[in-house]
Chains A and B, each alone.
Chain A
Amino acid sequence: MSALLTVEHLSMRFGGLLAIDDLCFAADERRITAIIGPNGAGKTTVFNCLTGFYRPDVGRLTLHRPQGPLYLERLDGYRIAQAGVARTFQNIRLFPAMSVLENLIVAQHNVLMRASGYSVAGLFGAARFRRAEAEAIEFARSWLERVDLVERADSPAGSLPYGAQRRLEIARAMCTRPRLLCLDEPAAGLNPRESAELTALLRSVRDREGIGVLLIEHDMSVVMGISDHIIVLDYGKKIADGTPEQVRHDPNVIRAYLGEAEHEALPAEIAADLRRDDRPT
């Protein structure tokens, strides 16, 4: 099993706060790697560094591809996405006024843009572009089927129920045909039935697409059920790394989770920040 992503000595500081402290880990192809940890542990910050939204202070983030390694810490966010790292957001970010189908078509923007000859051929309705568009719609339909949204394809994405929006965001990320899928708390706000469906979907993504999945999740039933590999963060530091079985019995992890009550005593503004960050939209 080859490493798809390696993170070496990643550090990220916000003013006086060391949000990530010398973090090292690897994520593999055809595996689900989970990052867990209490609120404010720095999980989302890891994703933001990986996907180019934050520029890390220190660290090397390498995406291993057949044509050679790519160092993500130097790239713009959209280039990282083009290189095959797709993500979802803790507070869902769809294009709410656009239809469900359009959301999935926008995800195939770069393919379609090339097929439309950067709009010139598209303006004249070139056959090549029409074919590419039909293929894109077919691909989107296949994903709509997998997330059970075919019926709602033409409704505005913003009108979907919460759980459906979560599924759509995953489908949209998959429509970029990524090599690595990063999911930030995909089960947040889902009911148990939806969580179970999500688990099945993530398994099928891992097994059928054969891509790597990096998963941030709070819901332990989801994490323990599907992860091949778990990394535990606390105050920006990695405190455990291993299989679900190993992590479950790790004394450091137990302490961090039992001590979670302490986080209630955070300074008011940070607590408010976390609440805002964690609130489902």
Chain B
Amino acid sequence: MVANPNTAPRIDIAALLKDAALTAAVAFALALPLIGFRTVDDPAGLGIETRFDWVATGVGAVFLGRLLLSWLFALRGQRPAVGSGWLAHARAQLDPHMKWIALAGMLFAFLLPFLPFSSRYTIDIATTVLIYVMLGWGLNVVVGLAGLLDLGYVAFYAVGAYSYALLAVTFNLSFWECLPLAGLFAAFFGILLGFPVLRLRGDYLAIVTLGFGEMIRIILLNWVPVTRGPDGVSGIPRPSFFGLPFTANPPEGVTAFHEFFGIAYAGSHRVTFLYFLILLLALITNLFTLRIRRLPVGRAWEALREDEIACRALGINPTNTKLTAFAIGAMFGGFAGAFFATRQGFISPESFTFIESATILAIVVLGGMGSQIGVVIAAVLLILLPELGRELAEFRMLLFGAAMVLIMAWRPRGLLAHREPSMRLHSRNHRGES
């Protein structure tokens, strides 16, 4: 069914009205109990207040909105097809330049702290964005490549953060000693989660991983002797520059960063160092995933995403393949967690709620599953926008929801969904390409 561009599509007004009325009816049924009634405290006990005016406004808005939407779709003749539209066009134009765009982005990231407009605050936000970029890249291994929908990724972030915090506080280990251990612990938990969910796919997998994420948080909350429960772990050692601490007044016998380099002490030194640290970690994550995608195991992940039965028939062990995906994804979550802990100096289970998992997953899905640059763009959009307009922060979840709905309707495979083969037989501009 392709609309003929020369003839205006005929619009069936009655059908549109009926459709809008139906949508409004559903909205009414939902809104009446949820919005229509409100419990209020009154001296005699619990009273009920009605808000039918709110319901009416909401239902009216849904009716008009739906009418407008379906009218717009009708005007276009059909729902936009996947891959059509200006974005796909722009993508096709940009494609050969992707390498340069990535390089320019990297150059910008390296220069950011030294640009005239950057303040301590900018660098701080950029650090947060980079944490999510790294988490997005890590989760991309599991969701984008292996196609395993993981809703509990925050668990590995938490395991990494707590591993670092507890090891550092208890055994006085340094950040660089703890980092590999944090990754290792997280990978171990990834395998632990992997085993029970080996046979699950899609929705079922999503639900179990969601439960796993919550379980880890609740264990952190309740296993007080080890994790210190809701109080969290404080006094986590801050990172040092190869043994040189970033403190104004270092203890006796220790040279601080500013003393060693003979510069005045500034609080921004540490912030800048943290920024470069996460930039480095994120770039390592990126290089690693780009590289592993071209290895047999990476291709096996993608094959598993495409068709598990066919994989079995080709002699690929699906158990091992899935577990490596979970382990490697979790490992990067663990690294990011360790960084988070050293940056904050204090962690508690509150930092590792489901919202974090949802945010990271939203970044991956929005960015275009499997697309590395897409993850950066999505992380910038989802983390930076709410930070910039503080008023927007209130609507963060609403923004997420709206963004996800739009993406699903408009580009179900993400903003930059385009898969470049991991190897080629012919050069890029070969005529056999379609």
A: which residues have CB within 8 A of B?
51-53, 76-79, 81-82, 86-87, 89, 93-99, 101-102, 105-107, 109-110, 112-113, 116, 118-119, 122-123, 133, 137, 140-141, 144, 150-156, 159, 172-173, 176
Q: In this assembly, does B34 line the interface, its C-beta being within 8 Å of a C-beta of chain A?
A: no
* CB of B119, distance to nearest CB on chain A (Å): 39
Contacts of A96 in B (CB 8 A): 306
Contacts A119-B297, A152-B432; is A102 near B423 (CB within 8 Å)?
yes
Q: Which of A94, A97, A133, A156 contacts B310 (CB 8 A)?
A: A94
Q: Render B309-327 as a binary contact track against A, CB cut-off 8 A, 1 for contact.
A: 1111111111000001000
- Looking at the assembled complex, report how far the CB atom of B145 sits from the nearest CB atom of chain A, in whole angstroms: 11
* B422 touching A102, Cβ below 8 Å: yes
Number of A-B contacts (CB under 8 A): 131
13 contacts across the A-B interface (CB closer than 8 A): A78-B317, A86-B313, A94-B307, A95-B303, A96-B306, A99-B424, A112-B296, A113-B297, A154-B426, A154-B430, A154-B432, A155-B433, A172-B314
A63 to chain B, nearest CB (A): 14
Smallest CB gap from B419: residue in A:
A97
**Most B Cβ at <10 Å: residue of A51, A81, A156:** A81
Residues of chain B within 8 A of A86, CB atoms compared:
313-314
Q: Count B interface residues, CB 8 Å.
A: 35
Query: Contact string, B386-429, partner A, CB cutoff 8 A, digits 1/0?
Result: 00000000000000000000000000000000010111111000
Q: Which of B288, B307, B421 has the most CB of A within 10 A?
A: B421
Q: Which of B291, B292, B419 contacts A156 (CB 8 A)?
A: B419
Cα distance A110–B324 in the bound complex, in angstroms: 15
In angstroms, how far is the closest chain A Cβ from the Cβ of B88? 15
**Any chain A CB within 8 A of the CB of B91?**
no
Besides A78-B311, A106-B316, 9 other A-B contacts (C-beta < 8 A): A79-B315, A81-B313, A81-B314, A102-B299, A102-B302, A109-B296, A109-B315, A123-B292, A154-B430
Cβ-closest 9 pairs across A and B: A151-B432, A81-B315, A153-B425, A95-B306, A99-B421, A112-B296, A77-B312, A93-B310, A82-B315
B417 to chain A, nearest CB (A): 10
Q: Does B300 contact A (CB under 8 A)?
A: yes
User: Smallest CB–CB gap between A213 and chain B, Å?
Assistant: 16
Q: Is the CB of B434 within 8 A of A159?
A: yes
Is B280 at the interface (CB under 8 A from chain A)?
A: no
Complex interface: chain A residues within 8 A of B215 (CB):
none
